[in-house]
Chains A and B, each alone.
Chain A
């Protein structure tokens, strides 16, 4: 089972077929149990979801150019932003990094051949597809107008769209999330390579572990609350009907018990990705590795106890307001620590600025602003003014889109050579990264301003005084659209015409880089043995002259 070899054993050209060559038929992809292929299936599906949701919001932003609208009816407008929310949250953001990069990399990073339950992994993708089919049916048949939050009694008694089908789609996709979570937790516990102790795990693995925890423990509550909505709407069971003594706020409690931690489902993986990238492109050990781990775990756990800050104006008790406000300030502490640690990782590094690093730096900036505005919303008096205005919209887009999608793009570029064996086009990638950062700020910064001045969200018609900000925001969104389409083009191009990457183009230390690119079906030819902590990008202990190329110590050997 284990072969001990020298730590610096050269990577050998084995001639072993890569996972991409295991079968070329469609059927071979649709029946695969290989975590890498499932990751690709997921990547294709979430990209489609991303563009569907983006088209929806592009229409919304165009419509908002004029205070009295351009071409949409109010119903159509409401359906479009609902569609945007539902598809982006559940069909793109939640599965984005975990189901693609997590699936691809988690087993490789810990030196395993696959995830613990490969068939469950494939099932999780099929559940995603079934959920997506429900959602596509909703889109084709006219949409749903509840907002992604499904608040009763509007959703149960008054909405005139396909609420039941939409909720059923999210319900199903919830189980896909749970399956992924169960798989990752079990894999991390049971399948680590010899020598891969808990505190040698790369931070990306830790982030996957933390996010799985949230998926497994939060998602079921969401599925239950949607089930109750379906029961009320389809079968007339008056669960949240205030006229029968029910309480609509109870739904909000159940919903946010999932949907606040869901924000951490979107941001924790991003934290994992950029940790890898900062270390690699600064050629430096991640500053305060242990603190980073504790911070991620405490975000995952405390993140469950803060949901009530979504309900400061909803009619919950003042005591609950204070308790949730307190806990929300607490959960901000580990997030702040992570920002400091990433900054400190740059200190005394050998920083280079390839596209992944640019995206990661963009993440750092956007996450800082998103996180700080989170403090505004944790303060009750400020939240009362900002709640359900564009301020909130801007805040969560900074976190969920700005930070999370930047990290997603960073990861895609960073691991692209590993996944495909090809290099992307560096100039275009750097250009796209910068465009994305600028476009994003231009889209969402104006929303902070108009939000604080009192522009409510989910408004089709709006007071003309806010037009200037809406126009700016739409202009920014067009820049952002270009920045999103560019990678699609040059990455697709690189699949055929990109330069061959070699096994480890970034000279990175993780186990996933110690095998061939693209990796063979079982990831490693032999069982890898881990001999080092992660991120040994520089010798510790003695100073070095600035110009010499530092020796990189791979985390272990595997060929």
Chain B
């Protein structure tokens, strides 16, 4: 293992983070040197019994200087807040058509699912120069995905989605790790990320065992676990909503609130169907907790997304 797997700046964002880091470090070094110089000079010059003149402080040192350095520190810190804040706001939104990879963490491994349906454990292949969006969820405790070379990190929560995105601009093998303490083998939870050229990625994808893509897997599940019995059957006696174009829509609830049907909402609907009932429906859907695992839920949601043709679907964002 090589330190390059950690500290390479594998994206433009990583370069900018490092710039911020070094600017702050320079600033801190200046402050430390200034203070240490002052302290050492005072210690020597005003050691007990030294001949240096003492006496009352000049007036300017008594009050004005205090206000001066308070204000100066304040503006310096505010400047830095602004700098770092702008940095993070710029990095906030991935482009709309980023390649979406699902990450499911459990004690003590990461499972990755590519849009093509390819699955990997503790290893992730991604193409270079392509915006990638990772949508993360956990099956047990809180984990965290940390990719030092990209300077990104996010906690992975059970029953919730969090997101990371990046556009790598260097190929190579980089280190990934879990950074939130998650139990006995926490320190062994991690893996490697292979950033490869687009051609290699295409080759790698086609070399994977033949498998449908996520949406197709989801479609199969939609029929096999019985969703289609109510949601896709005009003759059904049960009054269930049609799920075409559901993803990204705003849904009116019985209590008057309006929520957006994003991944988290759809996931809740599958696992906690009686939370947030849409207006006009009875709370009669069964829960699929225990019936579906995280991977299957991911597939189902991918299928529901594929049913959405509206151009107004919001781009994926962290």
Partner-binding segment picked from B15-23, B114-122, B203-211, B228-236: B15-23
Residues of A within 8 A of B74 (CB): 333
Residues of B within 8 A of A459 (CB): 186-187
Residues 315-337 of A contacting B (Cβ, < 8 Å): 315, 318, 321-322, 325-326, 329-330, 332-333, 336-337
Chain B 1-45 near chain A by CB (<8 Å), digits 1 or 0: 111001100000000110011001000100110011011001100
B80 within 8 A of A: yes
Residues of A within 8 A of B152 (CB): 384-385
Residues of A within 8 A of B177 (CB): 454, 456
Whether B24 pairs with A376 at a CB distance below 8 angstroms is yes
Whether A453 pairs with B275 at a CB distance below 8 angstroms is no
B216 within 8 A of A: no
Whether B184 pairs with A453 at a CB distance below 8 angstroms is no
Chain B 143-170 near chain A by CB (<8 Å), digits 1 or 0: 0101011011111011110100000000
A403 within 8 A of B: no
Whether B49 pairs with A385 at a CB distance below 8 angstroms is no
Closest to B50 in A: A546
Whether B155 pairs with A465 at a CB distance below 8 angstroms is no
Whether B54 pairs with A546 at a CB distance below 8 angstroms is yes
Partner of B158, one of A248, A330, A457, A538: A248
Closest to B16 in A: A381
Residues of B within 8 A of A382 (CB): 17, 20-21, 24, 84
Whether B85 pairs with A348 at a CB distance below 8 angstroms is no
Residues of B within 8 A of A541 (CB): 56
A314 within 8 A of B: yes
A28 within 8 A of B: no
Residues of B within 8 A of A153 (CB): 140-142, 158
Whether B92 pairs with A154 at a CB distance below 8 angstroms is no
Residues of A within 8 A of B311 (CB): none
Residues of A within 8 A of B149 (CB): 454
Q: Within the assembled complex, what's the spacing in Å between the Cα atoms of A348 and B54?
A: 5
Count B-side interface residues using an 8 Å CB cutoff. Answer: 85
Whether A465 pairs with B51 at a CB distance below 8 angstroms is no
CB within 8 Å for A542 and B85 given contacts A315-B160, A333-B73:
no
Whether A343 pairs with B179 at a CB distance below 8 angstroms is no
Whether B69 pairs with A340 at a CB distance below 8 angstroms is yes
Shortest Cβ gap from B62 to chain A (Å): 8
B272 within 8 A of A: yes
B281 within 8 A of A: no
A508 within 8 A of B: no
Whether A454 pairs with B42 at a CB distance below 8 angstroms is no
Whether A463 pairs with B175 at a CB distance below 8 angstroms is yes
Whether A245 pairs with B272 at a CB distance below 8 angstroms is yes
Shortest Cβ gap from A436 to chain B (Å): 18
CB within 8 Å for A452 and B52 given contacts A337-B69, A361-B39, A458-B181:
no
Whether B56 pairs with A381 at a CB distance below 8 angstroms is no
A372 within 8 A of B: yes
Q: Within the assembled complex, what's the spacing in Å between the Cα atoms of A159 and B184?
A: 9
Whether B148 pairs with A454 at a CB distance below 8 angstroms is yes
B279 within 8 A of A: no
Shortest Cβ gap from B14 to chain A (Å): 9
Range of interface residues on A (Cβ < 8 Å): 35 or more
A182 within 8 A of B: no
Shortest Cβ gap from A238 to chain B (Å): 12
Q: Within the assembled complex, what's the spacing in Å between the Cα atoms of A458 and B80?
A: 30
Shortest Cβ gap from A322 to chain B (Å): 6
B107 within 8 A of A: yes
Per DSSP, chain B at the interface is mixed
Whether A372 pairs with B32 at a CB distance below 8 angstroms is yes
Whether A350 pairs with B54 at a CB distance below 8 angstroms is yes
CB within 8 Å for A337 and B46 given contacts A381-B84, A461-B188, A543-B54:
no
Residues 385-419 of A contacting B (Cβ, < 8 Å): 385, 387-389
A158 within 8 A of B: yes
A460 within 8 A of B: yes
Chain B 46-74 near chain A by CB (<8 Å), digits 1 or 0: 11111111111100010001100110011
Whether A456 pairs with B146 at a CB distance below 8 angstroms is yes
Closest to A294 in B: B70
Shortest Cβ gap from B13 to chain A (Å): 8
B258 within 8 A of A: no
A375 within 8 A of B: yes
Residues of A within 8 A of B70 (CB): 291, 333, 337
Partner-binding segment picked from A201-209, A226-234, A363-371, A489-497: A363-371
B87 within 8 A of A: yes
Residues of A within 8 A of B162 (CB): 315
Q: Within the assembled complex, what's the spacing in Å between the Cα atoms of A282 and B28?
A: 27
Residues of A within 8 A of B140 (CB): 153, 157-158
Q: Within the assembled complex, what's the spacing in Å between the Cα atoms of A461 and B189?
A: 10
Q: Within the assembled complex, what's the spacing in Å between the Cα atoms of A321 and B92?
A: 12
Whether A346 pairs with B39 at a CB distance below 8 angstroms is yes
Whether B81 pairs with A453 at a CB distance below 8 angstroms is no
Q: Within the assembled complex, what's the spacing in Å between the Cα atoms of A35 and B142?
A: 45
Residues of A within 8 A of B188 (CB): 74, 461
Chain A 532-559 near chain B by CB (<8 Å), digits 1 or 0: 0000001011111011000000000000
Closest to A458 in B: B181
A94 within 8 A of B: no
Q: Within the assembled complex, what's the spacing in Å between the Cα atoms of A341 and B70?
A: 11
Q: Within the assembled complex, what's the spacing in Å between the Cα atoms of A461 and B77?
A: 38
CB within 8 Å for A78 and B39 given contacts A314-B155, A329-B81, A333-B74:
no
Whether B183 pairs with A381 at a CB distance below 8 angstroms is no
Shortest Cβ gap from A52 to chain B (Å): 21
Additional A-B contacts beyond A352-B48, A382-B20 (7; CB < 8 A): A158-B183, A329-B78, A347-B61, A382-B17, A454-B6, A465-B6, A542-B56
Give 23 CB contacts A-B under 8 Å: A153-B158, A154-B183, A242-B157, A243-B159, A322-B85, A333-B74, A336-B73, A337-B66, A346-B42, A346-B46, A351-B47, A375-B80, A384-B152, A388-B153, A453-B3, A454-B7, A454-B175, A456-B146, A458-B187, A459-B186, A543-B55, A546-B52, A546-B53
Identify the B interface with A (CB < 8 A). Answer: 1-3, 6-7, 16-17, 20-21, 24, 28, 31-32, 35-36, 38-39, 42-43, 46-57, 61, 65-66, 69-70, 73-74, 77-78, 80-81, 83-85, 87-89, 91-92, 107, 140-142, 144, 146, 148-149, 151-155, 157-160, 162, 175, 177-188, 271-272, 275, 289
Identify the A interface with B (CB < 8 A). Answer: 74-75, 78, 145-147, 149, 151, 153-154, 157-160, 242-243, 245, 248-249, 282-283, 288, 291, 313-315, 318, 321-322, 325-326, 329-330, 332-333, 336-337, 339-341, 343-344, 346-353, 361, 364-365, 368-369, 372-373, 375-376, 378-382, 384-385, 387-389, 452-454, 456-465, 538, 540-544, 546-547
